[in-house]
Structure 1
Amino acid sequence: MAHHHALPDAAAHGALPRDALPRTPVLTRVVVVVLVLLTAGATAVGLVALWPGGPAPTSPDLDYAVPGATFPRATVVRLTEPCPATAPDSVGTEPEGSADCGQLEARLADGSTQVVRVTTEVSRSGLRPGDTVVLLRLPDDAVDGAADQGALLQSAYSYAGVERRAPLLALAAVFVVLVVAVARWRGLAALVSLGVGGAVLLLFVAPALLDGAPPVAVGLTGSGATMLLVLYLTHGLSLRTSTALLGTAVGLGLTAVAGVLGSNAARLTGVGDENSGLLQALATNVRLHDLVACGVLIAAFGVLNDVTISQTSAVWELRAADPGRSRRALFASAMRIGRDHLASTVYTIVFAYAGAALPVLLLISLSSQGAATLFLSEDITAEVVRTLASAVGLVLAIPATTAVAVAVAPPPRAPAAPAGAAGPGVMGSTAAPAGAPSPDDDEHEDGR
């Protein structure tokens, strides 16, 4: 979610080139570096303390198929219409004329053809002849064992799913090409950062949670590690990036507090659907109650990163456009931009969660109960807590980041000298020096 707002054009308004701006005081730079190092140190300590002791545990109860089963790919030859619904008074009898309904005929790589039963949803999914599907083939001993127990198997083959790798890879390739084409090297860095974030989730967050580590601590540590790697990799090593990092850290802390307080106040148990119940049964070390707050942190990180980067850039650009503006006026101007950003981002969060919880919204529409009764359902309440906690962290992160950026940005330039006493290029001239280059953020970082 990237939001861009119109900022003053420094060159167009007669502002000084960035190299002519006052430098941020050394003491301020030292404080920023110390705070960044403390953040990195706390993250490193968290990684060491919470790193799982071994590989993530697995459960044989979650195996997709019996040992020895294979998943051959096949090409759809024919797909019949779904079977009509059976009338209540004819349970156990097959509807007349339905012998050939709800069947998928597919050709295997060896040329043989298999006919398998499929559900109504698969029959209506839009599969056409020529599409590739995956079948599940049970080993011969499993088929013989089922026959010995009196189970009726129409075939050793059954429908497993659609082969989706080709369209997903094509969509991913289009995404990568567009990002690199539009954002150039910075887009490539963003893609690498996306991979880094995924690696942190898969290699640290998930195994640590399964190992029984505190979910909130895992969420903060994982987000902190991702933040340190992603921000500097994508936006470069500069004082501006460090300022955005500190603002993101503040926002994550506030979001964690809001998530914990919200889940505690709502008395959430963490068991809101069948997946949570299954996880509780199979992974007894996982602290489901705190998973809500951990999920809030993971989900809110990307939005917070977007907001803090935008606010920090706004402060630096406003300073470049008007080097003589006081810090108070600079904060007020940046907050006007922040309010616009906040207004658009808050409903972005709400609709993002609403999209993820669309089945829940449909159930609410079908229900004739009042809102108070609906909130007895934990899955609905958990979505509300996630949304509001993320929004609280976001709202508070904007003024916090803006205040930090105003304090760290170059100080106001001294008032202009009296007319006639100033040399060329000194404040007070009505235009920038002839031929002064316009700053290009896509190619250069001022590092201030």
Structure 2
Amino acid sequence: MNTLLLMTIILFILMRLVGGKKGTKSFIALFLNFGVLLVTIILMSNPSFNLIILTFIACLIISIINLFYVNDINTKTKTAFISTLITITTLFIFILIITEKAMIQGFGGEEIHEISIFSLYIGIDFVKLASSVIVMSTIGAIIDIAISISSPMRELSIHQPTISRSDLFKSGLSIGRDILGTSVNTLFFAFFGSYLALLIWFKDLSYSLSAVINSKIMSAEMITILFAGIGVTLVIPITSFITAYFLVKKERG
């Protein structure tokens, strides 16, 4: 506990020194996001609640915290918020279909051994649960990409007030292309880093490459990574279009 407290204090000091007032807000937002996730998990355990609706509401609140609380209410945060909601809604449609077709819901054989003493009849739709996990895993990256595009686009429109909507949209795409590769790689290594011990276990158990790729755990992880990549890719043109539309409309409408 002392180690956790010490690291929390160090993180706060660094965020305060580097980010100033906004750094402090970002630090507080971490705990607010944790609170949202905790409440969502508690509500998910109640079969009477719809997991998809709960997840969407949680994503909505997390977006409000990270955009409006941390970065205040302005044009760039409003367009980033709208873009995030559109992207999440689009992802949900595809995720529900793919999750059911791929049969990645539930637990893999490697996990069953650890929880075999517990009952799995918990009254929750595991297809919707798997979809919720994927969306919650990508919401942070989608918000980050959205604000990373809308913010420089707003600055560009301020310094070049005569820029056309088409040119501003192209500038947003150009900004998105610069951060797309690093964002996808960050998601890739973050997800695989969390399953590094499992991969070593697969190796020690002499799993063949085909067995590893076709295992439910690995398939679920790969699908999560792919959807995360799809999400951060989709949000780029969506944010660019919406930001360009509202900025030019506001400046000259």
Calculate the TM-score normalised by the size of structure 1.
0.52
Is the counterpart of residue 249 in structure 1 residue 85 in structure 2? yes
In the other structure, the counterpart of 1:223 is: 59
Give, in whole Å, the separation in 2 of the partners of 1:413 and 1:257: 35
Unmatched runs of 5 consecutive residues or more in structure 2 = none
Higher helix share: 2
Select which of 159, 170, 186 maps to 2:22: 186
- 1:413, CA displacement in angstroms? 7.5
The alignment of Structure 1 onto Structure 2 pairs a total of residues equal to: 248
Q: Answer yes or no: is the 8 Å Cα contact 2:51–2:128 preserved in 1.
A: yes
Distance 1:228 1:276, change over 3 A: farther
In the other structure, the counterpart of 1:200 is: 36
Q: Answer yes or no: is the 8 Å Cα contact 1:196–1:230 preserved in 2.
A: no
Select which of 274, 299, 316 maps to 2:112: 274
1:280-429 pair list within 5 angstroms: 281=119, 284-366=122-204, 367=206, 369-371=208-210, 373-411=211-249
- 1:265, CA displacement in angstroms? 2.2
Q: Partner letter of residue 144 of structure 2? A: D
In the other structure, the counterpart of 1:6 is: none
Give, in whole Å, the separation in 2 of the partners of 1:298 and 1:276: 24
Is the counterpart of residue 209 in structure 1 residue 47 in structure 2? no
In the other structure, the counterpart of 1:426 is: none
- 1:287, CA displacement in angstroms? 2.3
Distance 1:246 1:278, change over 3 A: farther
3-state DSSP class of the match of 2:142? helix
Distance 1:404 1:214, change over 3 A: same
3-state DSSP class of the match of 2:214? coil
Q: Answer yes or no: is the 8 Å Cα contact 1:324–1:413 preserved in 2.
A: no
In the other structure, the counterpart of 2:75 is: 239
3-state DSSP class of the match of 1:320? helix
Deviations along 1:381-402, one digit per CA (max 9) or x if unpaired, are 1111111111111111110011
CA RMSD, aligned part only?
2.3
Larger radius of gyration: 1
Give, in whole Å, the separation in 1 of the partners of 2:77 and 2:155: 14
Higher strand share: 1
- 1:351, CA displacement in angstroms? 0.7
3-state DSSP class of the match of 2:167? helix
1:39-188 pair list within 5 angstroms: 165-188=1-24
**Percent identity, aligned pairs only?**
22
Distance 1:225 1:211, change over 3 A: same
- 1:275, CA displacement in angstroms? 8.3
Q: Answer yes or no: is the 8 Å Cα contact 2:37–2:58 preserved in 1.
A: yes
Distance 1:222 1:271, change over 3 A: same
Q: Answer yes or no: is the 8 Å Cα contact 2:105–2:130 preserved in 1.
A: no
Q: Answer yes or no: is the 8 Å Cα contact 1:259–1:385 preserved in 2.
A: no
3-state DSSP class of the match of 1:409? helix
Unmatched runs of 5 consecutive residues or more in structure 1 = 1-164, 415-448
Q: Partner letter of residue 322 of structure 1? A: Q
Select which of 253, 259, 267 maps to 2:95: 259
Q: Answer yes or no: is the 8 Å Cα contact 1:325–1:412 preserved in 2.
A: no
